[in-house]
Structure 1
């Protein structure tokens, strides 16, 4: 039995989690749309520990891909979903193309629902989704992403009841140094310096910070139907 599937495990927070699990000797399947990115991630992970690493190319927004994914892996203990695509999503609602908004909802929300649909009866431990601070502190330039992220909490509440005793939770990161920032065309380090000064933690998060949060909800058998905020205090500023 595969111990963990990480959808979005080819980079960023998902890769950090995979690295931690493999270092502990766990068997992990990393899933993503890019076979090349998965191959590079596997090469890195093979030097990080003793766990087995499998790679599976799949698109979270395609139902047939998700169905095939769970047919391939069979029973699995934990499923973690970190996949996200912010391409073209930032801007005022009047300026964001409707097709882009549909893509966000298809991958971030409907894709998460498909995971619950096809993981049912196969996952034995937990499902953990990834939300984001914009669901709780929208800034006027990412409204559709904020809406999709916010809906994940309601999805997790429903699935936690429906799939019980399988536990279903959401980890909601704040500002984290991941490759998604490279899509935004800004001076990342200057932005991070300014953003860090606004947080009680006085720093931007790292993928390893979020990996530790995933581990906490994966391993605590009494946490379900919960949103774990890992945001450096962003929500209280």
Structure 2
């Protein structure tokens, strides 16, 4: 299936994996709209992407604004959700429950709101691709909230694939990716990347362009729905 001329809306499409997906789909001829909460990020992303890309500013924690975005955009072919603040990592004993609630709002309830608003506007041959993570099936100490969100999105993907058919609903499940999500100090982040790479069969950390290829696959693959694709460099085997 060609993406040429198809309208792809990417929530969180101004940085990291989302920006890489925007670039990859635009390179295949798609009409791309990126959505983010900050005007400067939207403007910078649109300036760096191919001509014809558009951008919308929206607080994805504001359900009314999410609905208005899709009212403005009209018919679309594909919805991609990659938005998210840096990962919330904390031992349960020290966990800020309000911060945990906010994290869940953006990474689960905003996803649900976006799907609810976009689904009636998606063409029957269209798709929704969500983002989860390997913290779901492979949690680490301190990842209770992050792992819970990943598990919830994975379950949501399968439920939506059944409910929204023939619209296809899939999810990409990255492991550790070199991206702004890891907001450690530089020396700790570099050590984390190198330790993670050493523990995986491929001996490397994923780049955002690696993960973008999986999103493009799901957008263009007409017989995939309810699928969750892990991309962890073989970490699950280690």
* Equivalent residue for 2:17, pick from 8, 13, 18: 13
Provide the aligned length of Structure 1 versus Structure 2.
Answer: 231
Offset at residue 190 of structure 1 (A): 2.5
Other structure's SS at 1:152 match: helix
1:2/1:75 contact within 8 Å kept: no
Q: Distance in 1 between matches of 2:6 and 2:113?
A: 19
Partner of 1:43: 47
Partner of 2:28: 24
- Name structure 1 gaps, 5 residues minimum: none
1:2/1:29 contact within 8 Å kept: no
1:175-228: CA deviation from partner (whole Å, max 9, x where unpaired): 1000112x2225222221111010111100000011000011111111001111
Partner of 1:109: 108
1:9-60: CA deviation from partner (whole Å, max 9, x where unpaired): 0000010111112222321000011111111111111xxx34x111111122
1:57–1:2 distance in 2 versus 1, CA, 3 Å: farther
Partner of 2:219: 218
Superposition TM-score, scaled by structure 1 size: 0.93
Q: Distance in 1 between matches of 2:154 and 2:59?
A: 22
Relative to structure 2, which stretch is displaced further, 59-68 or 219-228?
59-68
1:136/1:235 contact within 8 Å kept: no
1:55-70 to 2 correspondences below 5 Å: 55-70=55-70
Partner of 1:185: 185
Relative to structure 2, which stretch is displaced further, 25-34 or 185-194?
185-194
Is residue 2:38 matched to residue 1:34?
Answer: yes
Q: Distance in 1 between matches of 2:177 and 2:225?
A: 24
Is residue 2:92 matched to residue 1:93?
Answer: yes
- Name structure 2 gaps, 5 residues minimum: none
Q: Distance in 2 between matches of 1:119 and 1:162?
A: 14
Relative to structure 2, which stretch is displaced further, 74-83 or 2-11?
2-11
Q: CA RMSD in A?
A: 1.4
Partner of 2:233: 232
Offset at residue 99 of structure 1 (A): 0.9
1:68-87 to 2 correspondences below 5 Å: 68-86=68-86
Q: Distance in 2 between matches of 1:93 and 1:213?
A: 33
